[in-house]
Every structure is written in C-alpha cells, then in structure tokens.
Copies of this chain bind each other. A is one copy, B any other.
Amino acid sequence: MDRLDHLNRHAERGTTDRDRLDALLDEQWVGTLSTVVDGLPWAVPMLFARDGDRIILHGSTGAGALREVADGAPAAFCVATVDALVVAATTFDSSANYRSAVVRGRLANLTGDEKTRVLDAFSEKLLPGRTSEVRPMTKREMAATLAMALPIEDGAWIMKAREGLPSTNEESGAERDVWTGVVPVRSGYVEPAASPWSTRTEVPASVRRLVAGR
C-alpha cells in the first residue's frame, strides 16, 4: 500500500495553496499537537479551530496536557483525513486519497479580550450559531480555560493530498485484468439525540443547520 508521507517521491502531491490548507483546517475538528518534553516526542489529540492566520487550541487550566506545552514551546500540529481507499492492480500501488497538513511554529498563550473573542470563535466553528443560543462564558469559566494560538506562517506549513484514480508502475502495468478503482469515504452528522432531562425539546437552529449541512 502507498503511504502518506512521500512528498519527495511525489512532489505533485504537495500544495502551496493557502486556500486548500484553510479548507482542510476549517473542515476538520481534531488534530495532533506534537512537541518535545525532556527530549522525547510528546503528542496529544486536540479539538482545534482556525482563526484567520492561526490555529486556536484550548484546554483546562487544571489539565496537565497543555501545561506541558509552555508559552513559546516549539510545536507541530498535524491534521489528516482519508477521502477514499485507492484499489490498484497490486498492493504496492494501492493507496489512499487523503489530505493532510502539518503546521509548525511556537505556541502563544492568549489573554484578556483576545482570549474571550477566540474562545467564542472556537465554539462558533464547532457549532455555528450556538453562542447566540446560550449565555456567554462566565468569568469563572474563562479563568478555568487556557487558550493558545499557533501561527500559520509562510514556509512553516506543508499540505499534501492525493486524489483521483490508482496509478500503475511498470511492473503492474501488465495487470489490466484486475478491477481497480476508488472507494470513497463519506462522513456526516446524523439525527441528534436530546438529553432526557432537557425541558426544551425543539432542536435549536444551530443543530438543525449542522445536520442539514453535512
């Protein structure tokens, strides 16, 4: 099977198109934050949201994970999704269609009004319209939450993608009497389930739009 990492072999799979990077980041919810702790690799999956030219991460001030990633720590944030299984005439040429990005930089801790604005933006990305349906965060909730930003800077990110049909190598070129093609992956939201204790049974507009839209 093919692999997701060979930009050197397949330079055409790399893209410098910032719009494509933004589209991937805006579509995905979870990525892996990597840093170095005591000389060893350290990684944690995190929800994230893009806010213009930066990736916003958040966590609890009571959690160990984000405290490891001090203000100014070098970080790499990786987002990847598989769009299809690519079935070739050989296992060697089989592959996956995918889109992935790695953004490198140093994390900055956000405070004050910027933190408030960014945390609202974070909520809005995950469920657009929700912040107008519920009360604002309280000061206590705000104090319990860390917000960090990783800048998206030219030359410090890489995006790779494979799309389309299987390729063939010389050795498999003769293998025409084998079915080849792609098997697309689809994902989306399904019907929401209400909490049994909720006295309001009407599904809010934010959730209805979310389910309808994907």
A: contact size bracket: 35 or more
Which residue from chain B places its CB closest to the CB of A124 in the assembled complex?
Answer: B91
Contacts of A60 in B (CB 8 A): 3, 6, 9
Identify which of B96, B177, B207 contacts A87 (C-beta below 8 A): B207
Contact B5 A41 (CB under 8 A): no
* A34 to B: closest C-beta gap in Å: 4
Contact A94 B126 (CB under 8 A): yes
Known: A5-B45, A102-B43, A195-B165. A201 touches B182 (CB 8 A): no
- How many Å lie between the Cα of A88 and that of B179 in the bound state? 48
* A1 to B: closest C-beta gap in Å: 5
Interface, chain A (partner B; CB < 8 A):
1-9, 29-32, 34-36, 39-47, 57-60, 62-66, 74-82, 85, 87, 89-92, 94, 96, 98, 100, 102, 104, 119-120, 122-123, 126-127, 130-131, 133-135, 137-138, 140-141, 144-145, 165-166, 169, 171, 175-204, 206-207, 210-211
- How many Å lie between the Cα of A191 and that of B119 in the bound state? 39
Contact A1 B47 (CB under 8 A): yes
Contact A180 B198 (CB under 8 A): yes
* A109 to B: closest C-beta gap in Å: 15
Contact A9 B198 (CB under 8 A): no
Contact A194 B180 (CB under 8 A): yes
Q: Can you list 21 A-B pairs with a CB-CB distance of less than 8 A?
A: A3-B63, A5-B59, A8-B64, A9-B63, A29-B82, A30-B96, A32-B80, A34-B78, A35-B41, A36-B36, A41-B74, A43-B76, A44-B78, A45-B79, A87-B206, A91-B120, A94-B127, A176-B199, A179-B202, A180-B194, A183-B210
